[in-house]
Structures are given as C-alpha cells and as structure tokens.
C-alpha cells in the first residue's frame, strides 16, 4: 500500500495543509511589497509556504512576479550575483529570447556572458567577469528595480537559506552593500528565509547588524498532529 503523504518535497495543492494565517499574511506582504523574514527549522515547510503564497499572490495580481533563489550551495559573492541576475531575468521574461534581450539591455557597464542549452525551454544562464562585478555591483543589485520600473511590474525576490551569506569572504560588508541598495527599492520586495535560527536572529534582530528590522519577522511553528 502506497502512503498518501509526501515527505522531503515541496507540498502543493491538497498536500499543503494548515498555515492559513501564515499564507494569508505572506500573500498580503507579497502584494503590498512588504519585506518578510521567515525563520523555522529545516523541513517545517518554509519553502512550501513561500511557493503557495507566491502562486496565490500572482494569481491575484497579474503584474506581480516572484523570483526564487536558493543559497544552499552558494558560497561566494560572485556566485550570488550571477544567480540573482539569472533568476530575476528568468522570472520577468516570458521566453528565452526576451531573457537574452533583457540580459543585454539592462547592463551599462557589465557585459554578461549568456548561454542557453539546446532545449528552447532551458533557462538562460548568465555569468559575469568577477573583476567587473566588483567594480560595478550596483548593476546587479538594482537589476530587479530597473526591470520592474521599465516593464511596469512588481517583483518579490525570495531567498532561501539566506544565512549562508555568513560564509562569504566579508559577510558584514556584503550585508551593508545589500541593505544600502535594497532599502531604496520601491517596486521590489524581499522575502528572506532560513533554518539556522541563531544565525538568522543575529542578522535580523541585532541592532548593530545592517539587516536589523529589515522586514516583517515571521516564525513558523510546527504543524499540530491533528
């Protein structure tokens, strides 16, 4: 007999249970472009909640785009910038030709290296010369805001395992750089979530840290057995 339950995967449709209040709150935050911080242990459903809220929010607002980024295997600023640009462009493009055009037109100093697989449905891959990015990080950090304004969109960038930026070479400086740009964005909001509670708490509740009070703090409780 096969079990009717899924485990270790994103819970969707009838597999997604409870979390009514959290879902409603997150949908409201997405549509209102309110920054959100979600903290809970691994496998308690953060990704499923974000995925559910993203679909509901985009169904209610045709101009809203949700971009998903996972930092689980990201260990450097260089990788972060490439992934951010790639995911933002993919989330705001309806086809790969448009994605390539966006990759070319929204950068003035950086020259993106663009590649795409043989399958037309493949996501466009974007890379940069790291030395150029270090001189012009603004172009990547403000990319979503530029695209949103140009295309009349609202964008929410969801970053999973956000605490992994602590493993970057100079994490405090990097956080200052992110905050200095992201706090100015009017058409883009950020949903930052992670499973290492003490690291996430330090980043978002320590008054000496750049991301102190950056957004609405949400703690997920374990779903009750019944």
Structure confidence by residue, pLDDT tens digits, 13-51 = 888 989 999 999 999 999 999 999 999 988 889 999 999
Residues 11 and 204 sit within 8 Å (Cβ to Cβ): no
Does the pLDDT at position 188 exceed 60? yes
Does the pLDDT at position 77 exceed 60? yes
Residue 117's pLDDT is what? Answer: 65
Q: What is the Cα–Cα distance from 51 to 45, expressed in whole angstroms? A: 10
Task: Give the chain's mean pLDDT.
Answer: 90
Residue 112's pLDDT is what? Answer: 78
Backbone φ, ψ for residue 156 (5° rounding): -120, 125
By C-alpha distance, which of 141, 140, 154, 226 is closest to 187? 154
Highest mean pLDDT among 28-32, 205-209, 210-214: 28-32
Backbone φ, ψ for residue 137 (5° rounding): -70, -25
Residue 8's pLDDT is what? Answer: 81
User: Considering only 110-114, 192-196, 202-206, which range has the smallest mean pLDDT?
Assistant: 110-114
- Average pLDDT over every residue of 199-208: 91
Residue 210's pLDDT is what? Answer: 92
- Average pLDDT over every residue of 153-161: 97
Q: What is the DSSP letter of 187?
A: S
Query: CA-based angle 138:35:214, to the nearest 5?
Result: 75
By C-alpha distance, which of 122, 126, 63, 50 is closest to 89? 126
Given pLDDT bands bounded at 50, 70 and 90, which one contains residue 53?
very high
Strand segments (E) across 89-202: 113-115, 125-127, 154-160, 188-194
Residue 98's pLDDT is what? Answer: 79
Given pLDDT bands bounded at 50, 70 and 90, which one contains residue 120?
low
Residue 123's pLDDT is what? Answer: 66
Query: For tokens 């974000």, what's the residue?
Result: 50
pTM of the model: 0.89
Token pair for residue 47?
């990704």
Does the pLDDT at position 107 exceed 90? no
Q: Which domains are present in the chain?
A: 17-219 (3.40.50.300)
Does the pLDDT at position 125 exceed 70? yes
Q: What is the Cα–Cα distance from 99 to 95, expressed in whole angstroms? A: 6
Residue 118's pLDDT is what? Answer: 60
């Amino acid at each position: 007999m096969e079990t009717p339950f899924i485990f270790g995967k994103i819970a969707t449709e009838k597999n997604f249970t409870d979390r009514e209040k959290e879902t409603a709150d997150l949908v409201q935050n997405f549509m209102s472009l309110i920054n959100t911080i979600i903290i809970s242990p691994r496998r308690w459903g953060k990704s499923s909640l974000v995925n559910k809220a993203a679909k509901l929010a985009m169904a209610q607002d045709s101009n809203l785009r949700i971009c998903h980024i996972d930092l689980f295997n990201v260990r450097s600023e260089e990788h972060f910038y490439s992934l951010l640009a790639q995911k933002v462009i993919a989330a705001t493009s309806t086809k790969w030709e448009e994605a390539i055009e966006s990759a070319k037109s929204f950068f003035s100093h950086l020259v993106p290296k663009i590649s795409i697989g043989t399958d037309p449905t493949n996501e466009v891959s974007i890379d940069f010369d790291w030395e150029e990015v270090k001189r012009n990080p603004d172009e990547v950090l403000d990319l979503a805001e530029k695209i949103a304004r140009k295309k009349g969109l609202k964008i929410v960038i969801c970053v999973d395992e956000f605490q992994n930026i602590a493993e970057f070479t100079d994490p405090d400086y990097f956080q200052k750089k992110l905050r200095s740009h992201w706090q100015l964005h009017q058409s883009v909001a950020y949903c930052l979530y992670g499973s290492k509670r003490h690291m996430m708490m330090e980043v978002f509740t320590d008054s000496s840290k750049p991301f102190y009070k950056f957004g609405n703090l949400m703690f997920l409780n374990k779903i009750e057995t019944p």
